[in-house]
Amino acid sequence: MDAYVVVLGGLNFDLVIRGSRMPNKGESVFGKSFHTFPGGKGANQAVQLARLGVQTCLLGRVGNDIYGDHLIASLEGEGLRTDALIRDSELGTGKGWVFVDDEGDNYIIILPEANMNWAKGDLEALADLLSGAACLLCQLETPVPIVKACLRQAKDAGLMTVLNTAPATTLPADLFTHVDLLILNQTEAAFYLGHAVAGADQARAAAADLLAKGCGAVVITLGDQGAVAADGSGICHCGAFSVRAVDVTAAGDSFCAALAYALLQGDDLYSGLKFACASGALTVTRAGAQPSLPKLAEIRAFMESESARHVN
């Protein structure tokens, strides 16, 4: 693909313990393994785009430490543009403390450090970075005013703007008007709407309500029930691909990047959801954040082999 995409977002050094269950308050339990992986929602989404063959530039901050060195080297190995990454002289590189249980479900504490230490002056080069780009993809591991400023500038410059509201945090009402595509999970949808969102039927109603906030389209991911999308022309649901879960970490990131890729390719919303569900499903079958993100050929082969079993 010729399109060039800018990702604004967080980079974390993930410290991952697997075990049967999380301890209760005051309790100690034994874990089963410990690994470290490159992670962070922004970096994960940027790596997923690069593995789909998209020229990608990651805009973010890391500390001036060995973790930052490691993350940058790993991103360079993926062929990503890293010249817009800022080394923070005050704070260290972000960390993700991840617990993964026997079902592959995760529990994550994010220590943002440099990821949240932005100043307005850090965006001086933004116009140059966005020039020639087709899309800006953001999450919420960077400060909301920075996310909003980037979305507004990208929208004004005619780029497709995508916001993945993870982790959910309070947003100014007018931010949504700068977003062409809003992607969130059921928990995040509940946060923004103030009521529970569970299952495809409730997600359809929630997507319509979120659309009314002023975005161009809304996608709510439903884990093993697929995803629902709403835009000006209607609402659709795409079922999930059934896989054995090893580790769900970065499945949402894979989904967001894959959906942006599909829409940039000219896919309609339903076809984009199906491609993104396939990418997310493959991610779930492998351990770790960035190591688990699939390449384009793998997704295509998986979709062909699984199409008969896919529930629309």
Q: Which residues bind ligand RIB (CB under 6 A)?
A: 10, 12, 14, 39-41, 44, 96, 108, 110, 141, 249-250, 252-253, 289
| Residue number with CB closer to ligand RIB (48 or 202) | 48
128: annotated active-site residue: no
> Are the beta carbons of 63 and 89 closer than 8 angstroms?
no
Residue 4 or 67 with smaller CB distance to ligand RIB = 67
The answer to whether residues 200 and 240 touch, using CB atoms and an 8 Å cutoff, is no
Q: Is 291 helix (H, G, I), strand (E, B) or coil?
A: helix
Q: Within 13 A of 270's CA, how many CA atoms are on the CB side?
A: 9
Closest CA to 3 of 268, 257, 275, 293: 257
Q: Which is nearer to ligand RIB, 141 or 231 (CB)?
A: 141
**CB of residue 190 to ligand RIB, shortest distance in Å:** 18
φ and ψ at residue 56, rounded to 5 degrees:
-135, 135
How near is the Cβ of 97 to ligand RIB at its closest, in Å?
9
Among 88, 231, 247, 253, the active-site one is 253
3-state SS record for 253-279: HHHHHHHHHHHHCCCCHHHHHHHHHHH
Q: Which residue is nearest to ligand RIB (CB)?
A: 39
The DSSP symbol for 293 reads: P
At 298, list the tokens.
């793998």
Residue placing its CB nearer to ligand RIB in the complex, 205 or 246: 246
At closest approach, how far in Å is the CB of 186 from ligand RIB?
15
CB of 14 to ligand RIB, least distance (A): 5
DSSP bridge pairs for 97: 15, 109
- Catalytic annotation, residues: 253
